[in-house]
Chain A
């Protein structure tokens, strides 16, 4: 079974400051990891993913995430937050070594609300 934990329901940061949204995962094999962002009344927008290779992944809108296998974490980061970054962020995992990993579902965390104040 695979699972994702986002330990913070909400993260508050001032505009211009760095931000971190935490994510830890659990899979039986090796993970594919994803970050999505959801704005109010909108669908999920893909930000970035880790498949293999470099542990630091760069994605859309200046976001990046660092894969840490020993800590089973995939924290989302941005050097300088914008007010427009305020949204709900979901981390998701897929176990790439499961028997049906080609079609298996994404398992999402509960989401972290990011609030960036002016």
Chain B
């Protein structure tokens, strides 16, 4: 079965540079989530999109922005990178259930490992 695809898998940037991470959800999934996992940490929610609209916002820095496109893929744009941004960035996708009962499981991609030097 098709899974969540993230690119690139690894990225090395220098301080103050910008980075763009891409996420391609499981086909027919309409919701995308972004998480940041620091070394030895649990995943922290950044932001999510449902049907191309931002649906929830977590601990995303102002230097970061994201969007979901008409084909449901999403991009996380990171500017003025700092050393502390080095982490594993996960994208997850889900399919919202009908009838207003949201029981969907979030399926995670393999992650993009970002290293800021």
Q: Interface size on A (CB < 8 Å)?
A: 25
Residue A104 is within 8 A (CB to CB) of chain B in the complex = yes
Q: Are A101 and B105 in contact (CB under 8 A)?
A: no
Q: How far is the CA of A96 from the CA of B102 in the complex (A)?
A: 7
Name the contact of A44 in the complex, choosing from B31, B41, B55, B108 (C-beta under 8 A): B108
Q: How far is the CA of A105 from the CA of B109 in the complex (A)?
A: 16
The chain A residue sitting closest to B48, CB to CB, is A103
Q: Which of A96, A103, A104, A111 has most B Cβ within 10 Å?
A: A103
Which 7 pairs of residues, A with B, have the shortest CB-CB distance?
Answer: A103-B55, A102-B102, A105-B45, A44-B108, A108-B42, A43-B110, A43-B108
Q: Which residues on the B side are within 8 Å of A34 (C-beta)? A: 105-106
* B64 contacts A by Cβ under 8 Å: no
Which secondary structure dominates where chain A touches chain B? loop
Q: Is B103 an interface residue (CB 8 A)?
A: yes
Complex alpha-carbon distance, A77 and B79, angstroms: 43
Residues of B within 8 A of A110 (CB): 41-42
Q: Of A46, A102, A105, which contacts B96 at CB under 8 A?
A: A102
CB contacts (< 8 Å) of B31 on chain A: these are 103
Which residue on B lies nearest to A109, using beta carbons? Answer: B42
B106 near A106: Cβ-Cβ < 8 Å: yes
Q: Chain A contacts of B43 at CB under 8 A?
A: 44, 90, 106, 108
Chain B residues with Cβ below 8 Å from A109 are 42
A-side contacts of B44, CB under 8 Å: 108
